Amino acid sequence: MDRGLVLVLRELSEADAAGVFPRLAGLRGIDAMMPNEVCLSDAVVAEIARIGSGAELVRAAANPRLTARQLCLLIEAGGDAVVAGAFPPDVESPGGGAPADAGGEGSAVDGSAGGLDRGRAELRRPGTSAGRAVELLRAHPVLAHTARQAGSVSLLHSPDAPVTRTEALDQARSALRAGVSAPREILLRMRPARVAAQVLAVVAREHAYVTGEMAVHELLRPMIVETLGTSSAAWAHLSRALGRFAGTLPELFAESTAHTGEAAIRVPAAVRPSVGFLLRRLDEDELTAVIPHLDDATAVALLPGNVPPLTHVAEAALRCGHPALLAALAEHQHVGRQYATRLRDLGEDSLDLLLVNNDSGVTAELRREIYTGRRPGRPLVPMHPDLRTRLLETPAYSAEYEAMARSGDPAVVDFALPRCEARKLRRIDWIDVVLNLWERADPRVARDVLTRHRDLFPDRIRTTAEAALAAEDPAPLRELRAKWDRGPRTEPPVPEHRRPPGERLRDSPLEQWHSWLVTAAADGDIDCEEVVRHARPVRFALAALTSIDTNHWSKAAPRPALARLAKRIGPNPEAWVVFTTLTPDFEGTLDELADVCAAAAG
């Protein structure tokens, strides 16, 4: 709650913060008003510097999201103790100790990589004065971040120098969180290109709940479309060169543009995840043109296995009919009813078998439809031998005998009927057993199966079926089925996680685990204004906004919504006391709480 409160407080003007912050600090304690990992406003930091004790200023300086200006305010107020606390010595880390050519205090520090390293070493050296620290930070604001980091900081001190994947990930994570770097810097300056692609893929985090996917996608897509587009030759060159190219990603894109025409795109295994990540920036139409040129392993890599299939990739797969990609979609644990149905309707026996084997991604209802062989606009054909063998050899614990009995295949029906639980078959299901045999095989086969298992059928159905088979007219069975058919079984309600985020936000209170809301905001499906207006209870709404604010470079920016909220609460310190007191237990929305606060304070 303290993090969320400070998130709103930072939107106050300097004059308003001077009245509100000391009142809340006196009520809750100043430590509660300066949580770590939260971006603060200059006005709030100025109040911390004005009223905080020496120890409190040292703790406040530990926040990695402070800007150089804010760190200077705290150092000027707390002196050398804040410098010592903010920049711990680390002589064993690269750049941690003073370089051999480092000058003493007061020596000039330029903006070169070597100069920044010397400035960093000086800040981390015991005994550096507050005045010298402020001088260095004002001259080189990047030191406010790098001088507080252990280990290598080459990514920010020498951004054009090549880095390894491990170094880049270690440094980029903290730099992005602190706001001193952004995905655009990684794209334009990081080298080699392969490392840049790997880091951007991690930043996007397609497989995680809290994600920068949309921001990275919007950064990469225009450049990829303009340079590589749908040229198979350009993509083939990129795939060959990515593992050894020393330059940046834009430079590799530009070099690949020179390759025109058509070519098979064979991607080395070492760079396949990175190429797949870049390929997913293309839209549905563009992927449809490129996928036929891909090798099977790369095509399959377009579908990450632990998240629902990306819509544009699945649509492109169905359009172009790439066998390996369609097979991967059929085997996908999140294939879903829509795509599974469309795969079944393709009429490929191999895909049918994969769908039947997909226990986690395909419903029992769809498997039953596959067993019966019915496809819109296609004639009924005998069951494929591979599917028949699969069903006859299914272990008893996973067999769906009731669905198999309605398949219309004589061998499968003969095998499944004695193993069915009668209570699981409706009257119309018993009729379907006979009718499906009649349609898929012939009346003689249906009569033979009915004769062998006549004791299993309900009396009314058995006598009607025997009469219909004797007359070679299925009409009596169809009439009886129509009489008893009550229509499809009631559709289950849409699972909560499948509902549109905006609708879910308005209709349902948030729970402690609300990562779906953070993801929806990052993807642009929900505006932060909607969170302020509709999310409830307040404590979880503030927690969600705090998480959204962590990825400050993404398109989901909570600050405009929070600024409106702060203005609604007003400058009266007592209104903020009410806000702080009610937040833990208030079950309404932030807007509703703001109205209560303003009214209570008069």
Q: Give 552's pLDDT tier (boundaries 50, 70, 90).
A: low
Indicate whether 374 pLDDT > 90.
no
pLDDT band at 297 (very low <50, low <70, confident <90, very high): very high
Q: Rounded to two decimals, what is the model's pTM?
A: 0.82
pLDDT of res. 595: 94
Instruction: Tell me: do 472 and 556 sit in the same domain.
Output: no
Q: Does 272 reside within a domain?
A: no
Tokens at 73, concatenated? 């305010």
Please give the structure tokens belonging to residue 410.
């004589």
Domain's final residue, options 156, 189, 212:
156
Residue-wise pLDDT for 176-187, tens only, equals 888 888 889 999
404 and 441 part of one domain: yes
Query: Taking residues 208-234, what's their average pLDDT?
Result: 85
**Helices (runs of H) and strands (runs of E) counted in the chain:** 38, 0
Residue 294, beta-bridge partner list: 265
Is residue 179 left, alpha or beta, with left meaning phi > 0 and alpha meaning psi from -120 to 50?
left
> Residue 21: inside a domain, yes or no?
no
User: CB under 8 Å to 432, separation ≥6 — which residues?
Assistant: 406, 481
Residue 30 binned pLDDT confidence (cut-offs 50, 70, 90) = confident
Whose tokens are 């986690």? That residue is 360
More confident residue, 348 or 552: 348
On whether both 421 and 458 belong to a single domain, the answer is: yes
In a shared domain, residues 556 and 585: yes
- pLDDT, residue 549, reads 83
**What pLDDT is stored for residue 90 in this prediction?**
65
Residue 468 shares a structural domain with residue 574: no
Domain stops at, among 128, 156, 184: 156
* Same domain? 477 vs 510: no
Residue 65 placed within a domain = yes
Vertex 240 angle, CA 237 and 244, to 5° = 120
Q: Of 108, 134, 156, at which residue does a domain stop?
A: 156
For residues 333-340, give the mean pLDDT.
90
Residue 86 lies in a domain: yes
How wide is the angle at C-alpha 390 spanned by C-alphas 384 and 391, nearest 5°? 95
Based on the domain organization, do 539 and 449 belong to the same domain?
no
107 band by pLDDT with thresholds 50, 70 and 90? low
C-alpha to C-alpha distance for 3 and 8, rounded to whole angstroms: 9
> At 265, is the secondary structure helix, strand, or coil?
strand
Of 343-357, 512-526, 536-550, 558-572, minimum mean pLDDT range? 512-526
Tell me what the mean pLDDT of segment 578-601 comes to: 93
Residues 470 and 510 in one domain: no
Across the range 234-242, mean pLDDT stands at 97
Percent of the residues in the chain that have a pLDDT greater than 70, as a whole number: 93
Residue 118 is predicted with a pLDDT of 92
Indicate if 131 and 42 belong to the same structural domain: yes
Instruction: Work out the average pLDDT over 72-80.
Output: 95
Instruction: Please indicate, yes or no, if residue 493 is contained in any of the structural domains.
Output: no
Q: Residue 398: give the domain boundaries.
A: 383-486
Instruction: Evaluate if residue 591 carries a pLDDT over 90.
Output: yes
What's the pLDDT band for 303 if we cut at 50, 70, 90? Answer: very high
Query: Does 404 fall in a domain?
Result: yes
Is residue 592 within 8 A of residue 583, CB to CB? The reply is no
- The answer to the question of residue 85 being in a domain is yes
The answer on pLDDT for 491 being more than 80 is no
Predicted local confidence at residue 100, as pLDDT: 45
Polymer length in residues for the chain: 602
Give pLDDT tens digits for 191-207.
999 999 999 999 887 44
What is the predicted pLDDT for the residue at 565?
A: 94
Candidate from 70-79, 153-162, 324-333 with smallest mean pLDDT: 153-162
Same domain, 555 and 527: yes
* Torsion of Cα atoms, 375 then 379 then 380 then 381, to 10°: -110
pLDDT tens-digit series, residues 34-70: 888 788 899 999 999 999 999 999 999 998 889 999 9
Q: Is the pLDDT of residue 103 over 90?
A: no
Task: Give me the pLDDT at residue 555, please.
Answer: 66
* Out of 2-16, 96-110, 299-313, least confident range: 96-110
The per-residue pLDDT of the chain, averaged, comes to: 89
Q: Does residue 152 share a domain with residue 34?
A: yes
Residue 353 resides in a domain:
no
Number of domains in the chain: 3
- pLDDT score, position 164: 93
For 425-453, what is each residue's pLDDT tens digit?
Answer: 999 999 999 999 999 989 999 999 999 99
Q: What is the mean pLDDT of residues 147-156?
A: 89
Residues 508 and 565 in one domain: yes
